[in-house]
Amino acid sequence: MTDLSARKADHLDLATSGDVGFRARTTLFECVDLVHDALPELELAAIDTSTTLLGKRLAAPILIAAMTGGTSRAERINKELAAIAEERGYAFGLGSQRALLKNPDALSSYAVRDVAPGTLVLGNLGVVQASKLRTEEVRGLCAAVGADALCVHLNPAMELIQVDGDRDFRGGLDTLERLTRELGLPVIAKETGCGLSGSVAERLRARGIRHVDVSGAGGTSWVAVEMHRAPEAGRALGATFRDWGIPTAASVLLCARQGFETIFATGGVRDGLDIAKAIALGASAGGIARSSLQALESGGRAAALAFFERIETELRTAMLLVGARDLAALRRAPRLLRGELVAWASLA
């Protein structure tokens, strides 16, 4: 097993059962109250959760978010979750395709089109790696997996803890602008568990980037993941920065002000109520990664399907209880912000 494959295997083990959550920081969705409507004048069966994202119709605003690739175990997980995304009408995100740059034979671990021919599939590449590739090379990576769009992930905090991780993050904004202009596919600027600030959102929009995945703080701490893998000095640094980041709810609020066409709310999204709150704050869809992986690994396909059925039921319930017939109405639903989220919302 190569060093990169070993790292991917470690990531899966830690994401499934490791102590890798944030300690003190939360998503702040608990600071969002949707206002109850005792006279919704709606029938639950008539609630419409469908949406169109990046040119494809989804039955519900749910992304099975990027997790893995590059190992045989990743191949099984990606195919099983992508098949569920196809069946239920969700979007599906692949893990980082960096492994393909080193080992083209790893392609099978990312190949999901045989089980998800109609699914909105998001490719994934780190901004540091993308900055070193010609646009046509990036286009080839997308074509190899049949991606409809490309997530370019930003993960400086994780890399600084990771053994032999990247240390030079210059040129990221230029790379995102170039790919947005030249790739021929939608480009999504995606964080990796630390969120996007209002300043970063403003800089992205100024360069023409139209789609983001906030991947905020409060769920899996990828700093903590790398902390567990690091030698002693790295563990100490990781412990210091374990709770670093912008809470997911705050990041959605800050990004929504910039008028992005697409905002994926990932990072600690636990249930359908969190997705409803994210959409009320301005998100296009909610993404779930770790919880879906845990359901699949603990109980197989049946458990994962039951998990997502619950998520959709919770989303529809929240929509009825605020009187929202569809997602457009949910975005207009009144909401109250409390506590720390009010302070984040006050940032210019």
Instruction: For the chain, 348 residues long, give each residue's pLDDT as a single digit of tens.
Output: 456 555 656 556 666 667 888 999 999 999 999 999 999 999 999 999 999 999 999 999 999 997 777 788 889 999 999 999 999 999 999 999 999 998 999 999 999 999 999 999 999 999 999 999 999 999 999 999 999 999 999 999 999 999 889 999 999 999 999 999 999 999 999 999 999 999 999 999 999 999 999 999 999 998 999 999 888 878 999 999 999 999 999 999 999 999 999 999 999 999 999 999 999 999 999 999 999 999 999 999 999 999 999 999 999 999 999 999 999 999 999 999 999 999 999 986
Copy the structure tokens of residue 164: 């032999």
Spatial CA neighbour of 196 closest among 288, 263, 121, 269: 263
Distance CA 311, CA 209 (A): 30
What is the pLDDT, as a whole number, of residue 14?
Answer: 63
Q: Which residues of 141-175 are buried (b: 16+ CB within 10 A; e: fewer)?
A: bbeebbbbbbbbbbbbbbbbbbeebeeeeeebbeb
pLDDT at 69: 77
Exposure of 131 in the CB half-sphere (CA atoms within 13 A): 15
Interatomic CA distance for residues 198 and 190, integer angstroms: 14
Angle at 107 between CA 104 and CA 110, to 5 degrees: 145
- Collect all residues with Cβ–Cβ distance below 8 Å to 344 and sequence separation of at least 6: 28, 246, 247, 249, 250, 253, 254
Q: Which domains does the chain have, with CATH numbers?
A: 3-345 (3.20.20.70)
Question: How many Cβ atoms are within 10 Å of 332's Cβ, its own excluded?
Answer: 10
DSSP string across 111-135: --TTT-TTSEEEEEEEHHHHHTS-H
- Contact between 64 and 91 under an 8 Å Cβ cutoff? The reply is yes
**DSSP H helical segments within 18-171, as ranges?**
72-88, 98-102, 127-131, 135-145, 156-161
Q: Where are the alpha helices (DSSP H) in the chain?
A: 3-17, 72-88, 98-102, 127-131, 135-145, 156-161, 172-182, 198-206, 222-229, 232-241, 248-256, 272-281, 290-321, 327-332, 339-345
For residue 147, give the nearest of 195, 96, 181, 106 by alpha carbon. 96
| Beta carbons within 8 Å of 263's beta carbon, 6+ residues apart | 211, 212, 213, 214, 252, 255, 256, 282, 283, 284
pTM of the full structure = 0.94
Identify residue 196 by its one-letter amino acid code: L
Tell me the chain's radius of gyration from C-alpha atoms.
Answer: 19
* pLDDT, position 6: 58
Pairing of strands 91-93, 335-337: unpaired
Q: What pLDDT score does 163 carry?
A: 86
